[in-house]
Structure formats: C-alpha cells, structure tokens
Structure 1
Amino acid sequence: MPGRQAVELTLPIQTEFLPVATACVEQTAQAYGMGRVETMHLMLAVEEVLSFLAARLSGGHHLMKLHCHNGRYYMEVVCRFPSNVLPVGAFNITSTVSADDEQSLAEMGLLLAARTADHLAVSAKNGDMEIRFVKNRQYPALPTIPASVAMQGSSRIVEPAPELIKQFAARVAGKYERQAPEYFQAPGKVADMVASGDYGVSLVADGKNNIMAGIFWRNGKQMAEAAGPYVFCDEADAAVQAVEGCLQRLARTSVLCLVIQQPTPDMPAGYFEPLAQDGSVLYRQLAEDNGTLVYAHPIFADYLTDGYRNLFLPRDIRRVENQGEKQSPHSAFAVRMDRPASRVVMESIWAGEDALAVVEQHIQALRQEGFREIYFHLDTGVPEQALLSPALSANGFEPAWIVPWGGEGDILVLAHREEESC
C-alpha cells in the first residue's frame, strides 16, 4: 500500500447533505477494498451522527469534517464537529431503548451505530468534538496446517515475507488455539497487519522455510506490546532466537520499552522482569526513559509513586481531583471482551458525573455475562481520566500493575474485586 491513504470532506451539518456524506464513505470504502457489510456499517454510523447533529444544531452554518483512513486491515471514519451535543452515554453497552422514553428513542440511531463498530473513540479539543468509528476487514477462514514440524537443517531468523507470516499465524492458531489472540485465526489479516507498519514480527525458520518459532508485536509511539513467543519444534534455542530477533528490530526504533501480556510457557528466562505479581505481564526497558507527566487522583497516587520507584522510572506525578468544577453529565466506556479467557478490559471513552452508576451497571452486566476477570485501563496521561478514580475504587477496582507508555501516558491497570463492588 503506497503510503497512508486518506480522504477528507467538509460539509454543512444539514439533512440535505446526508447522501453526500454516505456516498463519500461508500465510494472510499470500495476503493479501500472493504466488504459490503463493513461498508454499510460505516455508512450507517456517519448517517446517524450527521442526522442527530442536524436535528439539534440550527442556523445551517455548522460544518462537519469527515475523514476516511485506510489502515489496510481496517478502515477508520472520523467525524469532527464544533459542538458537544452528542450524547456519549448512548455508546455504552448498557444503554437501552424504551418506547416510553423520547430521549432514548432519539438516541437509538447512535446506539446502533456504536454497536456496529469494532472500535469507538470520542474526544474533545479546542471546542471541537470528534468521534472515531473503526471497522475491521473480513478475511477468509483459517486453512489447515500442521501445528508442529520436524526441523530440517539449522534454524535462522528470516525476513517476514507474507507467505511466511501466514504460515506462522496458521501454526499459532493450530497449536495455541484460544490461548493466542483472535487475529491469528485469519493469517491474511496478520500479514496485512505487518504490512501496515502497525505491527512487527520476528520469525525463525529451518532450511526449508518451515516456521519453527516467532513473536508478534504492536508498534506504539513509546511502547511495543508483544504476543508470544510461539514455538513449533523441539529446538531449545528457537524461542531465544525469536525474542532476540524482536529486540534487535525494536532497537532500531524509537520505542522505549516492550511489554508482553499473557506470555506463553515458551518464554526464555532472563529477558524480562514481571509487572504483574503472578508473572502474567512482563516488561523490558529498551532505551533510556526521560520521564513524563502522570495525572493521579490521591486514591491511587501512593500506589503509582511506589510502582515507579520499583521500576526505576522518572515520573512527575500531578495530583488531580474535582474541586467543585462542573463536569460533563454523562460517561461512556469501551469494553474489550475475551470470552474464551473469561476476561474483559474496560477503558474510558468519556468521563462524566454519572461515572459511579455507569461503572456499576457495566460490572453487573459483565458479571451476568459470566466474565471472571474484569480490568480497567486508566490512562495516567489524560487528566480527565484521573477524575474517574473515586468511582472505580467505590466499585471494587484496585491497582494491579503499571504499563509504561501504554496510552497517552502510562496505563494503570485496575483489577475488579467482585466482593467489594458497590
């Protein structure tokens, strides 16, 4: 894919321009190679946002900027407009529609748009509000391939050609099954993820180009997050070669650290230190960390201070708490579910005054769904998120570990203790 493809359109927030907005999304999605179903979902999202805004913003002089980005394995549509009239509460998984509630009926389209997106984000800056819808491309089903193979010849690090990446993904899915991230079920998607530049992979192969081991990671601005290592042979050094290949590649980037969540039993000793006490999250410093600002509510400030001291990370902790200032009335949270592992991660989309009740509603719904592990990722680089701390603590969330540079700043991972929820 030559460079980063993007299409932008600015149009009046008026119902007459609905066909223009949806046609832009449709034609762009077709040019990006998106399927019909994914295209229809993105068209619906833009149509509902523009319709909602047009019904509430009078005067006809307001403009919406539409941005369509080709991520190769996904398409992102961004709507930006100069208003905070969007009811962010409609984006919660706990939102419902009642025939007796006119407001909920008016927000039904936004709720449907949010449910059809694979990822949703809302932000505000300089008087503008921005909503991002992401839809993943659909890929063919996983081909059948042996999970393990007898090595032929000596093992070596190989360049990640698309066919080798697809072979690697298929072997991961075959051997590790539900223990591996879901995207390994679509080898073509994994190849596109690497080709996009968002992800990297270190592959070890034998003399016949049979993949013996590998490790896969997401490239961030300051942090890389890896999955693996995955080993498909009895060669003792295969995992070591894969990890060292990963570290060598990352050493040529601006990434400061590498984090591995849920490492496999094939992880060689001596390369990482634990972030979580049970060893389920590993960490390695790759370059000098000159520090950053951390916004923390007093409830979690002491934990963060001790955590940074143990990690030898320089951080300037700024204490943040509400001092009577007016907040947004509504909160919204994103939820990432891993049903096979019975694990879910919550993140803030929008912080508001009703956070205590909305978090409680999410916890109740997720427990009823049978999720045993519930985590919240609190971004310490966003001061508004620090204000969520009292609501999270009251609902039974406690600090578990810190992920350096996991978001805008560091991520404070909170684990939910069911017996202490309010």
Structure 2
Amino acid sequence: MEPRLTVQLTLKAYDVLLPVATGFVEKTALTFGLGKKEALTLALATEEVFLYLCHISNPETELEIRCRSNAYCTATDFLFEAEGFQMKAFNLTAIPSFEDEASTQEAGLLIAARLVDRFNLQYVGKRLLLTFVKDKAYPEIGDLEPPVSMPLSRFFICRPDGEEIKAAVRMIRQYCRDRFNPPEVDFPGKVADIFASGELDAALAMDKAGHIGGALFWSRDVPEGVECIGPYIFHSESDPEMAVALLNHCMEEIARSGAAGLINRYSGTGLPTGYFESLGVLTFSRGDGTRVDVETSYRHLREDKGIAVWAHPDLAPFLESQYKKFVLPREIQWVTVEGEKKSSFSVLSAEMNRFGHWAVLRPLVYGEYAATVLADHVRLLEKEGFSSIFFEMDLKNAWQAHFTQGLLKNAFEPRLLIPYGGKGDLVVFQRRVQSEA
C-alpha cells in the first residue's frame, strides 16, 4: 500500500498571497504524481477559490489549504469561514454572470468547479470544507491483447499484483463486455493504482500455469458496508464452483473488518444461487436505445442490531415495507419543518457517464428552491441525452430527507434501499422516463 501524504498551508485572505497559494498547490500536486496539465488545472481552480475568498473575507481571516496524496488522484481541501460563501455556483446548472463585481467573482467559483473531476462541500462547525479532486490522466485500453480465456478445472485463489490486476481488467473488457460493468474497467492502470492505494482489494482464480480464470474486487467506501464487484468467470466451462470460491475468499478477508453487510451492484457473470438477497433493480439505457434492469444485491455479514435513520413522512410506505421485507431493525425518525431558517439555496453534485447515458445526483446542501434546483438539473441532463437519472439519499443525515418532496414532485420514485450503503442506509431514487411519468 502506497503511503498517503498530507501537506498543509495556512495563510491570510490577502490577494497578494495568490502566488503562494497556487504555487503551493501546483508544486505539491506534481510531487504527489499528477501530470503537469492536471497539476496546473488544480492550481487554476485554487486561484479562483482563493480570489473569491479574499473578496468576501476580512483580510485577517485565516484560510487553510491542504493537499492530500493518493495513488490515482490528488485532493485539495479549503477550510474557511462559511459566512458569505455562495455555494449555488457549484450547481451543474449555474450560469456565469458578469453584471457586477460580485457576479464576476461568483463566476470564478463556477469555473473552478468545472476544472476538477469531483468536489464536495460540508460544514465543519461554522466553517466550510471545500474539497477538489483531480485524477491522474490514464490511457484507455489500447491494442494489447488480453490473456487467452481458458477453462480451468483446477484452480486456487490468490491476491494479485499490479500487472495481474491490469490483465484481469482487460479480460473483463474482452470477455464480459455484454455485462453491466463499472466505468473504471476502461482504464486498467487506474484500477491498478486504486488497488495500490488500498481502496480496492481483489482476488483471482488461477491455475498453476498462471492462467487467470476469474476475478472479484471489493472496497470499503462506507463505514459499515463492503461493496464487491463480480465475480467474473472468463470461460463458461471453468469449474462451476469458481464463483463461490472467490466470494468465500472475499468474506474470509473481510470477516474481521466488522462490516455489517456485503453490497453487490455489479454482478459480473452472475452471483451464485443463495448467496445474496435481491434488493431490487435500477433501469439503465443501452447504446441502442433499449433498456435493461440491473439488480442490486445484499448479504448480511453479522447480526444487524439496528440503527436510527431519518426520513420524510412521504417516504414512510416505502421504508416500512423494505425494512419489514428484509427484517432490518430500524428506528425511523421523521423530519419536520417548523419555521426554522435554512440555507438560501440548494446544491447538488452530479456524477455523469456519457457513454452509458446515466447520471447520479447527490445532495451537498439543502436550502431554498430544492424542487426547482432538482427540476433544472433534470432538464439539463435530459437535454444532454442522459436517459437514466438517479438520486442517492443517505438516511444518516437528517437534512437530506428534506429533498423527498422535491424528488416526488419531479417524478422520482424510490427504487432501492441499500442497508449501510452510505453513512447509514441509502435510498436510491430513479426518475421515471417520460412515457412512465
């Protein structure tokens, strides 16, 4: 596992210190392994944020900038006083305006958000933590032929090295291309780096001659759950117990992790019978315009002693039926609106896959105009050809439940409840297509 490094800079909100801030981010990103183009892009995003913060802050206000290394990306954090910060510029639908000085400054935030691959906003007490993430540039799969797919009657399970990871990914692209696969399979080098970072683990089924017969990947991105990808079996005549062996190995590896459950959204060439419960399906569009239902499954890893969750009363029928169906002990706490003040605007992030025509919206800030902000995002995404639009709501965070009425108003319906799929249980909504709405 590669070591992760963090470098921090604290400075006053003086615009004359701009070269210090941008130089710090660019040089640190280069040191952490980003290419020159990506490091410069991150520095340009830093420039826009720093100048905006100087514009709205008292010059004596301290700003913190942190750069964090990872094998496949660099993250830059900005920690600052929240007052006066216009978060609505981070919406995908935000339109730059240059009518006055304030609008021009806000346009800089919009530019910054478009320069990075991902961003996040969260409150830390009375301060805001803004995180920009820039990925390394990776080549797509080239002309290199994947290993030959061979039927394995005898095999053993092992943890791969980086080259074996890349070979397995190329085999997925070649022999499992008709399956619903995560977008990362287009970039074997990126998968190898995520594996090296420790965020992803894997197991391969191999024979003594070194032939690869199957693969399974898993990661722990949430506190109480593990998500697995696969199993992939590369030849239909291989030992039928190969998929079972890969999953058993995964569960042995994570047994001492304390995880509550195993989540599967990408089932590879198929899950063994009886290993998982189906949570339901999400509907995706193929390139030819046809639609396909993709199943999400779950397996308990230990006794579920129950947790408290937050939800809007309009979601009660769905939640109560799901918790009863899957025998999940939950205390549902209902959110209310009782005249309290809320943020002046709602903010969403959008993960988009143009090849697959799908997008996932996630809430960053709940405030005024939530239903309108949702409608604007839907309108833009559908105009851009995204036919499958999802929204993920984490029931650990009470404020996210307030988006429920806006979602229902915009023809979203709850499709999945994933136990421990976020900080708490995760509800996945999908917008009904026009013919269904």
Whether these two folds match at TM > 0.5 is yes
Alignment CA distance shift 1:396-1:102 (3 Å): farther
Distance 2:337 2:195 in 1: 43
Distance 1:420 1:16 in 2: 56
Alignment CA distance shift 1:96-1:420 (3 Å): farther
Residue matched to 1:228: 230
Is the 2:362–2:391 Cα contact (8 Å) retained in structure 1?
A: yes
Residue matched to 2:112: 113
Aligned residues: 421
SS of 1:376's equivalent?
A: strand
Query: Residue by residue, what CA displacement relative to the aligned partner does 1:161-183 show, whole Å, maximum 9, x if unpaired?
Result: 22211111111122234732221
Residue matched to 1:136: 135
SS of 1:107's equivalent?
A: helix
Residue matched to 1:387: 402
Distance 1:140 1:206 in 2: 30
Query: Residue by residue, what CA displacement relative to the aligned partner does 1:255-307 show, whole Å, maximum 9, x if unpaired?
Result: 21111114234322111110015661011111222222211111113321221
Residue matched to 2:37: 37
Is the 1:321–1:386 Cα contact (8 Å) retained in structure 2?
A: no
Identical-residue share of aligned pairs (%): 33
Which sections of structure 1, spanning at least 5 residues, go unmatched?
none
Distance 1:186 1:363 in 2: 29
Which of 260, 265, 268 is 1:264 aligned to?
268
Alignment of 1:291-330 (within 5 A): 291-330=306-345
Cα distance, 1:341 vs. partner? 2.8
Alignment of 1:56-205 (within 5 A): 56-58=56-58, 60-100=59-99, 103-143=102-142, 144-146=144-146, 148-151=148-151, 154-177=154-177, 179-205=180-206
Distance 1:4 1:338 in 2: 28
Is the 2:176–2:268 Cα contact (8 Å) retained in structure 1?
A: no
Query: Residue by residue, what CA displacement relative to the aligned partner does 1:173-224 show, whole Å, maximum 9, x if unpaired?
Result: 2223473222122222212211211111121112222211111122132111
Residue matched to 1:414: 429
The one-letter code of the counterpart of 2:262 is L
SS of 1:227's equivalent?
A: strand
Residue matched to 1:370: 385
The one-letter code of the counterpart of 1:338 is N
CA root-mean-square deviation: 2.1
Residue matched to 1:332: 347
Query: Residue by residue, what CA displacement relative to the aligned partner does 1:285-339 show, whole Å, maximum 9, x if unpaired?
Result: 1122222221111111332122122222222211102211111011111111223
Residue matched to 2:286: none
Alignment CA distance shift 1:241-1:148 (3 Å): farther
Alignment CA distance shift 1:176-1:125 (3 Å): same
Query: Residue by residue, what CA displacement relative to the aligned partner does 1:117-148 show, whole Å, maximum 9, x if unpaired?
Result: 11111011311111011111112342422365
Alignment of 1:341-352 (within 5 A): 341-352=356-367
Which piece of structure 1 moves more, 358-367 or 277-286?
A: 277-286
Cα distance, 1:240 vs. partner? 2.1
Alignment CA distance shift 1:119-1:36 (3 Å): same
Which sections of structure 2, spanning at least 5 residues, go unmatched?
282-292
Deviant stretches of 4+, over 3 Å: 98-104, 418-422
Alignment CA distance shift 1:225-1:368 (3 Å): same
Alignment CA distance shift 1:148-1:292 (3 Å): farther
The one-letter code of the counterpart of 1:195 is A
Distance 2:409 2:153 in 1: 59
Q: What TM-score, normalized by structure 2, do the two folds share?
A: 0.91
Distance 2:294 2:48 in 1: 45
Cα distance, 1:42 vs. partner? 1.3
Cα distance, 1:61 vs. partner? 1.8
Q: What TM-score, normalized by structure 1, do the two folds share?
A: 0.94
Alignment CA distance shift 1:336-1:298 (3 Å): same
Residue matched to 1:51: 51
Query: Residue by residue, what CA displacement relative to the aligned partner does 1:78-108 show, whole Å, maximum 9, x if unpaired?
Result: 1001223221111111111244466543212
